Amino acid sequence: MRARVRTGLAVAVSLFLGSTTAAATTAAAETFVGPLHTVSTIASTVPANGDQNPYGTVVVPQTVGDLHRGDVLVSNFNNAQNLQGTGTTLVEISPAGVVRQFAQIDPAHLPGPCPGGVGLTTALTVLPGGWVVVGSLPTTDGMSDTAQAGCLLVLDSHGKVRETLSGHGINGPWDMTSVSMGPRSELLVTNVLNGTVAANGATVNEGTVLRLTLVRDEKRGDEPPRLESTTEIGSGFGEHTDPAALVVGPTGVGLSREGTLYVADTVGNRITAIPDALSRHSSAGTGDVVTCGGALNSPLGLAVAPNGNILTVNAGDGNLVETTPPGDQVEVRTLDTSGTPPTGAGALFGLAVDPGARAVYFVDDATNTLALLHQ
């Protein structure tokens, strides 16, 4: 099933995107992962404290502080006892496999509120100036009935938490993408805890996508960006608790050059598109359906390739699927073959395109590693 999505932004927004996204170097009709057939393990994502279950994955865009351009930041969702929603660490991994701990966050010493504490999710991005933003969906014991709203944590380029963003519709921030121009950044965040815990395993259609506008004071570069406004641009996504995955809801998000936000609707087993994501002032609901079913098997992580195609990884197997904006599923690659059938189920989550090469970074939860799909 496929549907064409609407595109097109006002000139100002198009210029905003054009300055912050990679130029399309490949014709849209050509697949991005077509020539990619090799999977290589880069490094373990387990830090000294034993945190597990790598989720968020983002390539560092510029060298600043302790961040080095081209390295990959990874967030951990579980602690050493493998309890979900209790991971507190971010690791930084170089393309050569050198690993160091970027941050270990102490829930007892935060500069602002983060309801429930710290359990780092897939929501992870790096803003200009080296400001790292990561989501928290915390639990006290790894079980969904103790999950709380959490927050977005803003860290400086040395890994110190300088600010928390909570409330304003933030409720279980699960994944995120961002775009920046000058002092202004837009965070596009999925939320999966609206009525979910109270439903006790039943599906509720209350998942949201928020656009948070952050502004930095360029004269005071040492100050974290401040939240200027919040807009709900997507709503009505299915979500439910799950004993194996803690919670299932709208996950990966990726922004096209035209300003369309693609959302991995995990419960609906589809990819949807929210048009005018950077300029709209109201919710588009779940958006337009791009593709549904086929090779999709509960899509989680999502990234937009340089040619404009949509890359997603499945929760139900170890596959990556490439989809065109009109909705054609054009390539499938097996990234994980571990475990019992269905092969690779539950192993994949965050992914990020390598901006310096035709390759895709991804985390493998089954082995607690960062890996690379390449030629």
Tokens encoding 123: 């929501």
Please give the backbone phi and psi of residue 78, each rounded to the nearest 5 degrees, phi first: -115, 155
User: What is the arrangement of strands in the sheet containing 131-136, beginning at the earlier edge strand?
Assistant: 120-127, 131-136, 151-155, 161-165
pTM score, two decimals?
0.92
Q: Are strands 120-127 and 131-136 parallel, antiparallel or unpaired?
A: antiparallel
Please state the domain extents for the chain: 11-374
**How far is CA 267 from each of CA 38, 163, 206, 248, 363, rounded to the nearest angstrom?**
30, 32, 12, 7, 21
H/E stretch holding 17 reads helix 11-18
Homologous superfamily (CATH) of 11-374 is: TolB, C-terminal domain (2.120.10.30)
Nearest to 256 by CA among 35, 1, 24: 24
Q: What is the residue-level pLDDT of the chain in tens, covering all 375 positions?
A: 333 333 333 333 333 444 333 333 334 458 999 999 999 999 999 999 999 999 999 999 999 999 999 999 999 999 999 999 999 999 999 999 999 999 999 999 999 999 999 999 999 999 999 999 999 999 999 999 999 999 999 999 999 999 999 999 999 999 999 999 999 999 999 999 999 999 999 999 999 999 999 999 877 778 999 999 999 999 999 999 998 889 999 999 999 999 999 999 999 999 999 999 999 999 999 999 999 999 999 999 999 999 999 999 999 999 999 999 999 999 999 999 886 677 889 999 999 999 989 999 999 999 999 999 999
